[in-house]
Structure 1
Amino acid sequence: MSFQTQAVPIRQVIGAYGFPEHTVALADSLEIAYVDAGKGKTTLIFIHGLSSYVRAWERTLPDLSRSSRCLALDLPGYGKSSKGHYPGTMDFYAEVIHLFIQRLHLKNVTLVGHSMGGQIAVTLALKYPGEIQKLVLASPAGFETFTEPEKLQLHNFYTVASIQNTPVAQVRTNHKYNFYRMPPVVDLWIAERLRMMQCDDFGLYALTVVKSMSGMLDGPIFDRLPQVRQPTLVVFGAEDFLIPNRALHPQLTTAQVAAAGGARLPHAQQVLLAEAGHFAHYEQAAEFNKLVAAFVR
């Protein structure tokens, strides 16, 4: 299916996130959209994964904002944040969030990162250990390692053209891969994604996704995990279809990947949630929220 490009930006076709929405300019052409909910001594910053946006946290924020200040942001190039030719490296995203923390004068910060957001969170915690108190890593990227030939395969798989020309049926399948049982509410995400594909800045979004994938592959954290000083909560879904990569590592299980990464973290507790896929924090939100609330307390 081909889409007719419309002269509207992506931010205009994404509906309300359901929490107070704000923007902050971090540079001339870099504006970050974020939601800000709740109050408390602890500040939780939520970092979404590849191809995602603030909506990934809509089952997490209501509970956790009862006892903490919760801020969830769209990374540069994603969601309602500005689009541009951004580097997409883990260091770039870490610096953006560090600047976000400084600009908003945030204290007592715990980073909550999902998938790529987990890899970004670890990168940031390693760069600025004195500014991050704790880490929550939900199905984090970076625990699974890849050889150079495998990296090349993944680099070649994600292209701007393939993202721009994804068939409608494949868009739905791609969303389904994130879940053990896809909740009906995800139909809204799919509808928004299809509207995004008609926007005049979707090419920049697709470029961001490609650069982000390269950023993950080129900014590995596995060997650096022993340097993480912060107490860390690691949560994976036992039925994660995306970690490990089924095509490249069919012999690996999610539990093995989780254990390998968790064992390298000096101050980690690790939980595997049953009947949950890559979006374990969404499918098993009540259990995830309970774990995080206890951990930050």
Structure 2
Amino acid sequence: MRAWERTLPELSKTARCLAVDLPGYGKSSKGHFPGTMDFYAEVIHHFIQKLRLKKVTLVGHSMGGQIAVTLALKYPADVHKLVLTSPAGFETFTEPEKQQLRSFYTVSSMVSTPAAQVRLNHKYNCYRMPAEVDLWIAERLRMMQCDDFAQYAQTVVNSMAGMLDGPIFDRLAQVQQPTLVVFGAEDFLIPNRTLHPQLTTAQVAAAGVAQLPHAQQAVLPEAGHFAHYEKAAEFNSMVAAFVK
């Protein structure tokens, strides 16, 4: 939920805004969750149905973007519009590349991550790391001392596998909802710099947008993977106009 702290106050002026921690993350229950895109799409579907939400604009960041597309395809009546910010799923991977990524993300490596690496990992998400991210880092370091941190780590590992096993690129042409796609021009995580050094963020963004029948695109300069947080004013303005 913290990722939307610069978004909710502004967008709540003109719309009802709800931010969620998915099962296994944040303040939501920890446990043995499959982490697939279909699983999380079902969770959000039930959330929408339970609260009887109408004309939903689903805003998904990173893995949330891939989940949002999965939900829009599976339950099109749930989703009126889509906002995808730095979405996973636009970049595609070969089977050997998928295996390489799976071997990189393990529970043991997450549990034993040094504090300096935790800070560096957060820095990779930003072009210029906002001071508030220090709070996120402190929270993460406290989380690592909790008894259920290994369960959280397993959820992250399962989610990584879920993204790789639930590709959406070849299905983007089936998305009928109006879609706003936002990337940070300096996204360090998309594309994967190790596996795809020849690709740029702009190329990945353009490839995905080209598949979407009803899409508009924005690339925010001097912003990284958390473009909606680093450039909140610009992002909020675009989303408000898009929703209206």
The reply to whether residue 158 of structure 1 matches residue 105 of structure 2 is: yes
Alignment equivalent of 1:64, drawn from 8, 11, 14: 11
Residue of structure 2 in register with 1:74 after alignment = 21
Are 2:126 and 2:224, in contact at CA under 8 Å, matched by a contact in 1? yes
* Length-normalised TM-score, structure 1: 0.82
> Post-superposition shift, 1:131?
1.9
Instruction: Supply the distance in 1 between the matched residues of 2:149 and 2:213 (Cα, whole angstroms).
Output: 41
The reply to whether residue 169 of structure 1 matches residue 169 of structure 2 is: no
Q: For each residue in 1:89-129, what CA deviation from the matched residue of structure 2 results, as whole angstroms up to 9, or x when unmatched?
A: 00000000000111111111110000000000000000011
Are 2:48 and 2:78, in contact at CA under 8 Å, matched by a contact in 1? no
* 1:1-297 equivalences in 2 (<5 Å): 54-297=1-244
Higher relative contact order (CA 8 A, sep 6+): 2
Are 2:183 and 2:218, in contact at CA under 8 Å, matched by a contact in 1? yes
Give 1:82's aligned amino acid. S
* Length-normalised TM-score, structure 2: 1.00
- Please list every run of 5 or more consecutive structure 1 residues that lacks an aligned counterpart in the other structure: 1-53
Secondary structure of the corresponding residue to residue 137 of structure 1: strand
- Please list every run of 5 or more consecutive structure 2 residues that lacks an aligned counterpart in the other structure: none
Secondary structure of the corresponding residue to residue 27 of structure 2: coil
Instruction: Supply the distance in 2 between the matched residues of 1:262 and 1:170 (Cα, whole angstroms).
Output: 33
Give 1:166's aligned amino acid. T
Give 1:268's aligned amino acid. A
Instruction: Supply the distance in 1 between the matched residues of 2:52 and 2:75 (Cα, whole angstroms).
Output: 15
Instruction: Supply the distance in 2 between the matched residues of 1:177 and 1:149 (Cα, whole angstroms).
Output: 24
**Alignment identity in percent?**
82
Instruction: Supply the distance in 2 between the matched residues of 1:239 and 1:215 (Cα, whole angstroms).
Output: 26
> Post-superposition shift, 1:134?
0.2
> Post-superposition shift, 1:296?
0.3
Secondary structure of the corresponding residue to residue 188 of structure 1: helix
Question: Which one has a larger percent strand, Structure 1 or Structure 2?
Answer: 1
Are 2:59 and 2:68, in contact at CA under 8 Å, matched by a contact in 1? yes
Are 2:180 and 2:216, in contact at CA under 8 Å, matched by a contact in 1? yes
Q: Runs of at least 4 residues of structure 1 off by over 4 A? A: none
Question: Which one has a larger percent helix, Structure 1 or Structure 2?
Answer: 2
Give 1:164's aligned amino acid. V
How many residue pairs get matched? 244
Secondary structure of the corresponding residue to residue 70 of structure 1: coil
Secondary structure of the corresponding residue to residue 198 of structure 2: coil
Instruction: Supply the distance in 1 between the matched residues of 2:109 and 2:2 (Cα, whole angstroms).
Output: 24
